Amino acid sequence: MEREISEIVEKFVEKTFKVSNENFEFQSTRKGFDGDITLVLFPLLNKIKIKPEELGVLIGSELKSKLDLIKDFNVVNGFLNLIITSSFYISFLDKVKNDLKYGHIEPKNDANLIMVEYSSPNTNKPLHLGHIRNNLLGYSVSQILKANGNKIVKTQIINDRGIHICKSMIAWKFFGENKTPSDYNLKGDQFVGKFYVLYNQEFNTQVKSLIEDGQTEEFAKTNAPIYIKAKDLLKKWESNDKEVRDLWSKMNNWVYDGFENTYKKLGVDFDSYYYESDTYLLGKKIIKEGISKGVFYSKKDGSVWVDLRSDGLDEKLLLRSDGTSVYMTQDLGTAFQRFIDYSKISGMVYTVGNEQDYHFKVLFLILKKLGYSWSNNLHHLSYGMVDLPSGKMKSREGTVVDADDLIHSMQNSAMEISVGHGKIQDVENPQKLFLQIGLGALKYFILKVDPKKRILFNPKASVDFNGNTGPFIQYAYARIQSILRSTKKIDWKPNNNIKIDIKEKEILKHLLIYPQIVKQAGESYSPALIANYLYDLVKLFNSFYQNISILGEGDPNLKNFRLVLTQKVGHTIFNSCSLLGIEVPDRM
């Protein structure tokens, strides 16, 4: 519709005013004004010296004479409000009623290949609430990009080496007593995470003792015995010490088993995996290449740096003086390896918290300075942290909210609230349903917020059947399925004699813009656009359902029109939720 209108207006203004204009701004007509779609005239008024009302009448008259879908128009200041005929909306619904993937584009053989990285955990602790936002955001963005016709590779880089991993290892050597996760009936990631906390407790005790003996805090932190042993373990790991490598492999495998269990419960998956233990060596080769090109330089102590001050950044360490790598080392290697593995990649999205904004500016700039052309196709999907009413989480102090515990808690909350409100009826597997509701509440609460914003997560507020929540969306979908189960066959014969109610028209107008919302969400990497669209759609449907009879309508054709409209709303809720990774139950 917008394309047809644009073409006519473009030809009209060029013929009448000798002005060329290809891009026109449209918006939904504001509430309180008569119209369905509004053409913003101000960009044209900058080129055409004429009164807004006069220009609006000229363009409106031209559109009404050339397009049957324009019933009438009115002009308010610099806004041309167009009233669309009911026949247009009836024809639209007939066209899309059987398109189960309306608004989504199936990837073609020559489609863009985009890699989306998310999760990227450390193997010294279990996944927590912060990881949940990362996983949900990365997975949803991958779904949205796929719905825009791209081929997607979902991946992660597992931080399986480094001093933080050695801290858990040395703590297990000191305090583990050769125990395994099964000895305590714990998931492997939770088991290893306990030793990371134990390390920091012992480290703080030793630092305090050294300070009490008269040492400075700086000296104490770098000379605490347990820290020195962790550093020694890292050196042995990098020199391929068999005993250290065996312990590292054993503890990492415990963690991997735990991660997979959590991913399955959370409903996210991956197409490929990368490990820092593999890519950091490639990163060292790239750094060596950068030195030969004059991009990097060595200091007297043997450390390697890059000077980015002329680019408005700073000097950045790439290799420590003892030859051990830093995060930037493996990130350089990982990026390079991915473009070796997937030579046809047209873009890569890194889903990483905003505390790493500077890191990714540096990474992308270094890759560009090294001459890698694909460095222009990298995007950092930066997002804000997640806080709880109780305050900020800290892994090393053991005050994080474990992902598995949170999922279980959401399931229980869904059960309590659902049963308490009498929402659950005629359900074969209530525990499965409670998990769907709990996860739907969690996912929707997190994804409805713009990724750049920080979130204060309130578990109780998220599991509510009223308001802007996941259960509110899920309940509407279940209601629609209940309506559709009440009729054996929908036999709608489209005709222009149907008088569309304003509430039906509002739903059709909203359905009409769904493909545009999916496109915008892909361009901005923002699932929040999908979530907010979805909430508005459900509100419109609920208002329609509460005020207009569907199954009780006496006119068979009008009844079937409303059933088709209801069915299409259900399809769109289902598809929108699939982009958010949310399951919608048929019965509640």
Q: Which residues contact 170 (CB under 8 A, 6 or more apart)?
A: 199, 226, 229, 230, 233
- Helices 52-66 and 2-17: crossing angle in degrees, nearest 10, is 120
Share of the chain above pLDDT 90, in %: 85
Strands (E) in 321-462, as ranges, are 345-353, 378-383, 386-387, 455-456
Q: Which CATH architecture has domain 2-84?
A: 2-Layer Sandwich (3.30)
Residue 393: pLDDT band (50, 70, 90) is very low
Listed by start position, the domains of the chain span: 2-84, 118-397, 403-580
Question: Of the candidates 42, 96, 95, 36, which has an alpha carbon nearest to the alpha carbon of residue 67?
Answer: 36
- Over range 192-210, report the average pLDDT: 97
Residue 390: pLDDT band (50, 70, 90) is low
- Over range 471-479, report the average pLDDT: 96
User: In Å, what is the CA distance from 151 to each residue of 106, 136, 306, 346, 443?
Assistant: 9, 19, 35, 10, 24
Which amino acid is present at 214? G
- Measure the CA–CA gap between 435 and 313, rounded to whole angstroms: 46
The CATH homologous superfamily to which domain 403-580 belongs is Isoleucyl-tRNA Synthetase; Domain 1 (1.10.730.10)
Q: Are 345 and 374 in contact (CB under 8 A)?
A: yes
- Over range 45-55, report the average pLDDT: 94
pLDDT tens string 311-357: 999 999 999 998 888 889 999 999 999 999 999 999 999 999 999 99
- Measure the CA–CA gap between 296 and 286, rounded to whole angstroms: 10
Mean pLDDT, the chain, whole residue set: 93
pLDDT of residue 396: 46
What values do phi and psi take at 274, rounded to 5?
Answer: -125, 150
Residue 375: pLDDT band (50, 70, 90) is very high
pLDDT tens string 90-108: 999 999 999 999 999 999 9
CATH topology agreement for domains 2-84 and 118-397: no
pLDDT of residue 389: 74
Residue 427: pLDDT band (50, 70, 90) is low
- H helix or E strand, kind and range, residue 560: helix 556-580
- Over range 4-22, report the average pLDDT: 93
Q: Are 522 and 563 in contact (CB under 8 A)?
A: no
pLDDT of residue 419: 78
User: In Å, what is the CA distance from 351 to each residue of 121, 157, 261?
Assistant: 12, 11, 21
pLDDT tens string 68-80: 999 999 999 999 9
pLDDT of residue 424: 66
Fold of 118-397: Rossmann fold (3.40.50)
- Over range 258-278, report the average pLDDT: 96
pLDDT of residue 291: 96
Does residue 397 carry a pLDDT above 80?
no
Q: Are 378 and 370 in contact (CB under 8 A)?
A: no
Residue 395: pLDDT band (50, 70, 90) is very low
pLDDT of residue 399: 54
Name the 3-class secondary structure at 221: helix
Q: Which residues contact 158 (CB under 8 A, 6 or more apart)?
A: 120, 121, 123, 256, 273, 274, 275, 276
